[in-house]
Amino acid sequence: MKAERQTMTLPKITQHAGALLGAVVAFSAQAEVPEVRIARQFSMGYLQFNVVEHEKLIQKHAAALGIPEVKVSSVRFNGPTAMNDALLSDSVDIVGGSPNGMFTLWAKARGTPQEVRAITALVTLPYVITSNDPAITTLADLEKCEKIPVPSVKVSSPAVTIQQAAARLYGIKEYNRFDSKTVTMSPADATIALLTGSGGVNCSVALPPFMQQQLEHPNIHVVANSFDLAGGPTTYTLAYTSKQFHDRNPKLYQAVYEALIEATELVRKDIRTAAGYWIEDSNSKLSIDFVAAAGSGPQTEWTTVPRDTMKAAAFMAEVGTIKVRPTSWKDYFFPEAYGLPGS
C-alpha cells in the first residue's frame, strides 16, 4: 500500500512541477523587454533617427500603446549591402537607407519570410557628382574619372546615379559603363580623398553635409545634380524593415511608425536641434550652423511622403539590377503608409 501511495503521488508532483515551469516561462516572456535595433548610414539623410533616439519617441509612443518599456539601440554602416545583410539575418530591425538599396532587398526577398518593405520616407533632397579636375565639367567627362567613391557599388543611390549618367549619355544598354570606376568608400573618406587628391580619387558622389564641405573648396565643382539625372525631385532616404518585424508585434511597429512621423515634424520645425543630435552621434567637428544649413538647403524637404520612388525602381528593373518591377509604390511600402499621397 505504501508503494501504491507513492506511485499515486508521482503524477501530482509532475503536474505541479509542470505548472510551476509554465508559470516561470510565462513570467520570463512577460518580463522580457522588447528591443528596436536601428541601422543607418553616415550621411545626414537620417536625422529622424537621431531625433527618435534623443527624444525617446519610440518609447513614448510604445507606452501610449500599452508597451511600458522598450530598449532602443543603433549602429551605423557605410552602405546598404552590409545593412541589408544585417536585416536579413535579424541582426537589426529598422534600416535607414536609399530607395535603391531597399529595392534590391525587396526584390530579392519578396514572398519569403524575410520580405522587406518601406515604413516611411524620410527626406527629399538633391546630391551631386563632384570633381577636383578642371577638365571634368560635364557628364561626358566622367570618362576621365579615375575612381568614383560610393557607399556601396551597384546598389547604393550614388552608384545608381552614376549608372543613370551612363544611360543618359550612351543609352540604357551602356548603363554600367562607369561601374568599373566606382569604389566602396564612406562619404567622409571620399571627401578627404577628393580634397587631398589621394588614392586616384578625382570624382565623387557627394552627400550632405559632405557635399557642402567639398563645395567650400574652390578646386571642387559640381558636374551633375541627382535631380537632373532622375528627372526631378526624388526621395533620398527612407526607413524600411522586415515583414517579420512588422507582423510579430503590430503595436511595437505602430510605435515606430508614429515615432518617425513625429520626428519628421520635429526636424521640419527645428533643424538646429536635429543637427545638434547628428553632430553628437557622429562625433563630427562641423559646426551646428553648417550642419543646419546643409539640412535645410534648396529643394530639401523632410517628409514622410515617398516622392517619385517608382522612377528609381523602374530604372533598376529595366537594367536588370532587380528582377521584379513594381506596379505601384504601395508594392514596397507597408499598409500603414497607404494613406499618404506617395509616388
Domain ranges of the chain: 35-125+234-337, 128-230
Which CATH code of 1.20.1440.230, 3.40.190.10, 2.30.110.10, 3.40.50.2300 fits the domain covering 128-230? 3.40.190.10
Residue-level pLDDT, tens digit, the chain, 343 residues:
444 444 444 444 444 444 444 443 433 334 478 999 999 888 899 999 999 999 999 999 999 999 999 999 999 887 788 888 999 899 999 999 999 999 999 999 998 878 999 999 999 999 999 999 999 999 999 999 999 999 989 989 999 999 999 999 999 999 999 999 999 999 999 999 999 999 999 999 999 999 999 999 999 999 999 999 999 999 999 999 999 999 999 999 999 999 999 999 999 999 999 999 999 999 999 999 999 999 998 899 999 999 999 999 999 999 999 999 999 999 999 999 999 999 9
Q: What is the pLDDT of residue 82?
A: 87
C-alpha span between 190 and 80 (Å, rounded): 17
Q: What is the pLDDT of residue 81?
A: 84
Q: What is the pLDDT of residue 11?
A: 44
Q: What is the pLDDT of residue 26?
A: 38
Contact 89, 245 (CB under 8 A): no
Q: What is the pLDDT of residue 141?
A: 97
This prediction has a pTM of: 0.87
Q: What is the pLDDT of residue 28?
A: 37
Q: What is the pLDDT of residue 77?
A: 87
| 128-230 shares the fold of 35-125+234-337 | yes
Q: Which of 234, 196, 235 is nearest to 213 (CA)?
A: 196
Q: Tell me the pairing of strands 94-97 and 235-242.
A: antiparallel
- What's the chain's length in residues? 343
Judge: domain 35-125+234-337, CATH 3.30.70.270: no
Q: What is the pLDDT of residue 45?
A: 94
Q: Distance from CA of residue 137 to its chain's centroid?
A: 30
Helix (H) or strand (E) holding 241: strand 235-242
**Which amino acid appears at position 283 of this protein?**
N
Q: What is the pLDDT of residue 259?
A: 98
Q: What is the pLDDT of residue 134?
A: 97
